Amino acid sequence: MSQINRLGGGQIDRTKTLDFKFDGKSYQGHDGDTLASALLANNVRLMGRSFKYHRPRGVLTAGSEEPNAIMELRDGARQEPNTRATTAELFGGLTAKSQNKMGSLRFDFMAINDRFSNFLTAGFYYKTFMWPAAFWEKVYEPIIRKAAGLGSISFEDDPDDYDRGFLHCDLLIIGAGPSGLAAALTAGRAGAQVILADEDYTMGGRLNSERFSLVDQSGADWAAKTVAELTSLPNVRVMARTTILGAFDHGIYGALERVSDHLAVPEVGKPRQILWRIYSKRSLLCAGATERPIAFENNDRPGIMLAGAMRSYANRWAVTAAHNVAIFTNNDDGHKTAADLHAAGVSIAAVVDIRQDAPLSEEYEVIAGGQVVNSNGRLGLTSIEVSLPDGNTRALPCGALGMSGGWNPNIHLTSHHRGHPVWNEKIAAFCPPDNGPAGLSVAGAALGNFTTAEALASGACQANAILKDLGIKQNKVVLPLAEDAPANMTPFWYVKGCSRAWLDQQNDVTVKDVKLSHQENFISVEHLKRYTTLGMGTDQGKTSNMGGLAIMAELTGKTIPEVGTTIFRPPYTPTAIGAFAGRDRGTDFRPTRKTPSHTWAEEQGAVFVEVGMWLRAQWFPQAGETHWRQSVDREVLATRNSVGICDVTTLGKIDVQGADAATFLNKIYCNGFAKLLVGKTRYGLMLREDGIAMDDGTAARLAEDHFVVTTTTANAVSVFRHMEFARQCLWPDLDVQLISTTEAWAQYAVAGPNARKLLKKVVDPEFDLSNDAFSIYGLRQYHCVRWTKSAFV
Amino acid sequence: MIINHPILGPRDSAEFTYMGDAALLDRPDWQAKDALLQFVDYGYLRDNPAGPHIELWYHEQGDRSFLVVTRDTTTHQISSVKLASDVARGRGRSK
Amino acid sequence: MHNLSATTALGGTEPRTEQRGPITLNEEPGYALASVAARKGGERATVLAIQRIIGAAAPKPNHAAGNTVTAFWTGPEQWMLEAPYDSHETLFAMARAEVKGKASITEQTSGWCRFDLRGVGLGAVLERLCPINMTKFQPGDATRTSIDHLGCFVICRALDHISILGPRSSAASLHHGLLTSMRSAY
């Protein structure tokens, strides 16, 4: 009995069947499925347990805003916690585990917490663990640590690679729904350099989720056709599976491309993910909108989900959560779900619409002016209780319930530079602020244009406005005919009198907690968030914030815009730390510098030490030596008694030339160089402005206007920087040129009584190395070799 | 951030090393009567404005130019970028 | 004189070659390098000297020029000269003679390791390395930028040929970074 909840149609490939496991049990899905859609197809509604009360939870959404269906994906070192089943692409061999349970998902011992919910309200920790103080470290903290968090990690090194990259464009389009596609078509055909990025693996946004969004063709077909055209344009880069994480300064955006997350294992040499830095002249946010739930008693049971998500599951993935479905809505959009499910052969228990003037249907029952006041079913929804306009209550059996409380524009990126969202009374939602990131425009549902026709038009219109700003010839694109019916809505946030009605399902924040927060005077939105944890966690309150604000507004006698909203910061969705680290980890954390004798030293079995980024041969063990002192003592004695050589290329070397070279060195060293003879070397001490020693080294005079100075290994970069500062910023008219030659010259110290003898073996006989000719601090240049003689090593 | 280099055009700030307050250009005259006090100020005291800040950026991974950048510390808006050697000359620095 | 054998920056006696997809990566040890920095008042003379040396106008910022001997801009009033080592071992001396004291010349041969990437589709490799806008990087363009924390010169020789010059001591790290990008892209 597999995939009993699979419907007809959809955009899955039924010819490709994929095996996967959830909590050890095997299931089958199809290519094109997400983990969530495949589980629903197999009639799995219970997908996790909640954070605090360990309540049974199912999937709420069909996208990245998912608070409940978060799982551990894969095994072993690749195990990843808190992965949203709604965005995880199904692949053959996928294994997933539910999290946040003790025992099995069906019988979670921690579910006892739900019985003590009266104690575990907002502020529970602050109030309970106050005393005795000595208990904190030994008793309370270990218990809390054990209970805290959601998924678990493997504690093994991540075996995958993460890459980074840099992209440039005239226009970055964020989101490839109707508005994003219309904008990309407009700007792409006009010849602008366009990047179109979407977090989904199939572009099209809601076009893929609707049956009748376009009048004369399917939305999904138009999206596919448009994406194909865009992909063929050399000036357009189409990036699916790519989330724009944040808006940074001066048109820079962070983008995470999931290159291999849809594969069991990345291809050899390929990264798992790439963090792109996108340099854009302009950007257009087409991120769409997120549906809002409605709070009522026990609204968190598996099977209760957003109505729009239900429609996505039915139309895109050909899946229904149950074969008998009810809808609870405050707007016309909820009715669309009922119509689509009905057309797909799902029986509609009823559409419960809070509005007295709700549109009626000939196909199924509509309860106008009704409200869902409670739900039943231990591990999944079995029935709902509906209060009727006449005051009676009616029980309605159903296996799933779709909620629609209206839609919130996805304006997150517009707040990344601290812009405060603006309330729009017409759609009862926060809309983009005027002071969003410079260069960022907004189109489509993210701007509050909720119909497909509006979204298409607004995408094209914004793109043309941007083209005009960029001085690129505008382009009129013929857009497909699309549905344009306004989704009439009456704001409705929660059912009066409810208490254990969930606002934030991930953090277990209920209407009661918001009331408690108000009672205890945490009424500012920022305090409300922190006291109750409303809007925290992996979903950052994408589905929950508005309900909390609306209730706080009511309790304080203010309007929602007066209460205000918390704003958003990057990343838009959870991002693996590995992606931020990119290549910079392990031995690749920073470059390794090797001396010219490195390969030779390796062959001699040298033991290396890291000095800054350099690897320096520290000693050369010989057969029979078991302790480093034996090797070092032998080397020291050999040098003292005969001769020793040392690769000191790591010392910094700077070529200083120009008519004022000596004057310049006089200024930056505390000792003088003007009188140093050509062919001589002098020790130099460099001080900071406050007299503290900065560095020391030698300066050799090769000519009147030419010195080579050395620095210590560690300070080579900072001394060069300091000298450039002095040259450019302090004495800009001195004739002096600086070139670092650390890399260009190998440098060896030759020491010991036989040093001269050794040199004579290497240097041709016509070169006089006698003490008279080559005295202390003397300097000779011979072909491409320079010799200095100094007393300090 | 993007710094519009006067010679090279827009460059990622990641190529630069931040060198702090451009007051570093105004190194006191070491022969002045109150040189000690001036050097204490020069060495240790920096303004930390919330708003426009004139600062030094060193294009260390690029052409090694020191730039004087006027940047609003609250918005990162950059209103002017000049070669530090030009600014230094403008402030009377020479040899 | 003595039995010295030259090693490349990667430590081998032969230059390394790698292939991935359409892209080849070659270690190119055979080039002499010398830097030219104009002295105060010698700016014009330096530009003319470079023109005589490379047989083309001295390259402007962000550019390279020349044929056998080439030059690329490295900083205000600063250039790097580059020529095949076998024919121009004395590039440094030749440049010093040509500038007649109007510029400071510094021997840089072997101070920089050079890797050449060849093939169609270099953009996909380069965009994983550095922030150069590859859609606009044309033959004759040259710039210095940061690659895996290393300050490197990137020179576009042809649409399917890019040279990267990095500090010699970090040649292995740079080579590893280039290979990683090739594998990531192809």
| Stronger pLDDT, A378 or A114, i.e. the higher one | A378
Bridge partners (DSSP) of residue C120 are none
Q: Which of A276, A235, A238 is nearest to A256 (CA)?
A: A276
**Contact status, residue A225 vs residue A392, Cβ threshold 8 Å:** no
Q: What is the DSSP letter of C57?
A: P
**How many Å from the N-terminal Cα to the C-terminal Cα in chain A?**
82
Q: Looking at the predicted structure, is the pLDDT value of residue C83 above 50?
A: yes
Strand partners, A700: A681, A708
Q: Are residues C68 and C21 in the same domain?
A: no
B29 falls within a domain = yes
Number of independent structural domains in chain C: 2
Query: Do residues C86 and C116 share a domain?
Result: no
CA dihedral C134, C140, C145, C151 (to 10 degrees): 140
Task: Look up residue C153 and give its two tokens.
Answer: 């010169």
Residue A723: enclosing H or E segment and its boundaries?
Answer: helix A716-725
- Between residues 763 and 782 of chain A, which touch chain C (CB distance below 8 Å)? 764
pLDDT of residue A1: 46
CB C115 within 8 A of CB C25: yes
CA angle (A94, A96, A99) in 5-degree steps: 170
Between the alpha carbon of residue A693 and those of residues A656, A684, B30, the distances in Å are 21, 11, 18
Q: Assess contact for A433 and A360: CB atoms under 8 A.
A: no
Asked whether residue C158 is domain-assigned, the answer is yes
Q: Does B95 touch chain A (CB under 8 A)?
A: yes
Over the stretch A227-282, which tens digit does the pLDDT of each residue have? 999 999 999 999 999 999 999 999 999 999 999 999 999 999 999 999 999 999 99
What is residue A780's predicted lDDT score, i.e. its pLDDT? 67
The answer to which of A297-301, A324-328, A399-403, A784-788 has the lowest mean pLDDT is A784-788
Same domain (yes/no): C53, C116: no
**Cβ contacts from B onto C, under 8 A:** 34
Number of Cβ atoms within 10 Å of the Cβ of B42: 17
Establish if B34 belongs to a structural domain.
Answer: yes
CATH number at residue B54: 3.30.2270.10
Residues of A in contact with C106 (CB under 8 A): 655, 657, 739, 741, 744
Mark A251-287 as b/e (b = at least 16 C-beta within 10 Å). bbbbbbbbbbbeeeebeeebbbbbbbbbbbbbbbbbb
Looking at the predicted structure, is the pLDDT value of residue A83 above 50? yes
User: Side chain identity at C11, as an amino acid letter?
Assistant: G
The verdict on C117 and C177 lying in the same domain is yes
Query: A586: which DSSP letter?
Result: G
SS3 content of chain A, % helix, strand, coil (to 5): 25, 30, 45
Dump pLDDT digits (tens) for A351-382. 999 999 999 999 999 999 999 999 999 999 99
Does residue A764 register a pLDDT over 90? no
Distance to chain A for C167, nearest Cα, Å: 6
CB-based contacts of B37, cutoff 8 Å, min separation 6 = none
Does B17 lie at the interface with A, CB-CB under 8 angstroms? Answer: yes
H/E segment holding residue A529: helix A525-532
DSSP A481-528: PB------B----B-TT-SS-EEETTTTEEHHHHHHHHHTT--SHHHH
The amino acid present at A689, given as its one-letter code, is: E
The length of chain B, given as a count of residues? 95
pLDDT per position as a tens digit, A2-33: 899 999 999 999 999 999 999 999 999 999 99
Give dist(CA A542, CA A291) in Å, integer: 9
| Three-state secondary-structure class, residue A114 | helix
Mean pLDDT score of chain A: 92
Q: Quick one: pLDDT at residue A793? A: 39
Mutate to test the interface with A, among B11, B61, B66, B91 (most CBs of A within 10 A): B66
pLDDT at A485: 85
Residue A511 tokens, joined: 């209407």
C25 and C60 housed in the same domain:
no
pLDDT bucket at A133, cuts 50 / 70 / 90: confident
The domain in which residue C43 lies consists of 32-107
Q: Could you tell me if C80 and C57 lie in one domain?
A: yes
pLDDT tens, position by position, A167-192: 999 999 999 999 999 999 999 999 99
Q: Does residue B69 belong to any structural domain of this protein?
A: yes
- Search chain A and give the residue with CA nearest C131: A166
User: What does R_g of chain C's alpha carbons equal in angstroms?
Assistant: 17
pLDDT number for residue A777: 67
CA A377 to chain centroid, in Å, comes to 37
Query: What is the amino acid identity at position C41?
Result: G
Q: For domain A13-117, is the CATH number 3.65.10.10?
A: no
In a domain, B75, yes or no: yes
Distances (CA, A) of A11 to A218, A230, A483, A559, A619: 11, 20, 21, 43, 66
Alpha carbons A413 and A567: distance in angstroms, whole number: 10
Check A591 against C170: CB less than 8 A apart. yes
CA atoms within 13 A on the CB side of A434: 0
Q: Which residue ranges of chain B lie beneath pLDDT 70?
A: none
Q: Do B8 and C62 make contact, defined as CB atoms within 8 angstroms?
A: yes
Residues A751-755 have a mean pLDDT of 91
- CA A459 to CA A179: how far, in whole Å? 4
Among A95-99, A329-333, A787-791, which stretch is predicted with the lowest mean pLDDT?
Answer: A787-791
Tell me whether A271 touches chain C (CB under 8 Å). Answer: yes
Q: Give per-residue pLDDT as tens, A589-607.
A: 999 999 999 999 999 999 9
Six token digits for residue A620: 């050369």
Name, in order, each residue with C-beta under 8 angstroms of C87's C-beta and a sequence gap of 6 or more: C68
pLDDT in tens, A413-460: 999 999 999 999 999 999 999 999 999 999 999 999 999 999 999 999
Average pLDDT (A613-619) is 95
Domain end position, chosen among C78, C107, C136: C107
Measured in angstroms, the CA of B51 and the nearest CA of chain A are apart by: 15
What's the DSSP call for residue A729?
I
- Per-residue confidence (pLDDT) for residue A785, from 0 to 100: 61
User: In whole angstroms, what is the distance from residue A426 CA to residue A755 CA?
Assistant: 89
Q: How far is B48 from chain A (nearest CA, A)?
A: 20
CATH code for the structural domain at A647-788: 3.30.1360.120
For position A789, what pLDDT does the model report?
A: 57
HEC sequence for A307-361:
HHHHHHHHHCCCECCCCEEEEEECEHHHHHHHHHHHHCCCEEEEEEECCCCCCCC
Burial A645-658 (b: 16+ CB within 10 A, else e): ebbebbbbbbbbbb
d(CA A306, CA A291): 7
**Is the pLDDT score of A775 beyond 90?**
no
| Percent of chain A scoring above 70 in pLDDT | 96
CB nearest B7 (choices: C61, C146, C151): C61
Q: Is A592:C172 a contact under the CB 8 Å cutoff? A: yes
Question: Which residues 156-175 on chain A approach chain C with CB closer than 8 angstroms?
Answer: 161, 163-168
Contact C11, C29 (CB under 8 A): no
Say which of B25, B43, B95 has its CB closest to residue A733. B95
What's the number of domains chain B is made of? Answer: 1
| Residue B24 covered by a domain | yes
What pLDDT was estimated at residue A216? Answer: 83
**Alpha-carbon gap, residue A197 to A208, rounded angstroms:** 16
Domain A162-290+408-470 class in CATH: alpha beta
**Domain positions in chain A:** 13-117, 162-290+408-470, 590-641, 647-788
DSSP 8-state assignment for residue B22: G
Partners of residue A372 on adjacent β-strands: A386
On whether any CB of chain C is under 8 Å from the CB of A130, the answer is no
Give the number of other CB atoms < 10 A from CB of residue A220: 21
State the pLDDT at residue A759: 87
C114 and C102 part of one domain: no
Residue B11 lies in a domain: yes
Supply φ then ψ for residue A38, to 5 degrees: -70, -40
Q: CB distance from B86 to chain C under 8 Å?
A: no
DSSP class of residue A42? T
Q: Which residue of chain B comes nearest to C132, CA vs CA?
A: B11
Helix (H) or strand (E) holding A145: helix A141-147
- The residue of chain C with its CA nearest to that of A194 is C135
The total of other beta-carbon atoms located within 10 Å of residue C164's CB is 26
What's the CA gap between A349 and A671, in Å, rounded? 93
| B64/A729 Cβ within 8 A | no
A729:B65 CB<8 A: no
Shared-domain flag, residues C99 and C61? yes
Helix A545-556 and helix A525-532, axial crossing angle in degrees, nearest 10: 120
Residue C6: pLDDT band by 50, 70, 90 thresholds? confident
pLDDT, position A287: 98
Q: Which chains have at least 3 CB atom pairs separated by less than 8 Å from chain B?
A: A, C
Q: Would you give the distance in Å from CA A121 to the centre of its chain?
A: 31
Question: Which tokens belong to A49?
Answer: 């347990």
Query: What is the C-alpha separation between C73 and A240, in angstroms, rounded?
Result: 39
- The tally of CA atoms less than 13 A away on the side-chain side of residue B3 is 28
**CATH value at residue C115:** 3.30.1360.120
Is C11 inside any structural domain? Answer: no
Nearest to B2 among A250, A663, A725 (CB): A250
Residue contact A728–B66, C-beta within 8 A: yes
Sign of CA dihedral B87, B92, B93, B94: positive
Mean pLDDT for C149-175 is 97
What pLDDT is stored for residue A781 in this prediction? 64
A 687-706 near B (Cβ less than 8 A):
688-690
* Domain CATH for C101: 3.30.70.1400
Write the pLDDT tens digit of every residue in A382-419.
999 999 999 999 999 999 999 999 999 999 999 999 99
User: What is the distance between the alpha carbons of residues C103 and A510, in angstroms, rounded to a whole number?
Assistant: 76
Q: Is C92 left (phi over 0), alpha (psi -120 to 50) or beta?
A: alpha
Q: Is A655 left (phi over 0), alpha (psi -120 to 50) or beta?
A: beta
In a domain, B53, yes or no: yes
Residue B44 lies in a domain: yes
C183 chain-A contacts, CB cut-off 8 A: 268-270
d(CA A716, CA A654): 9
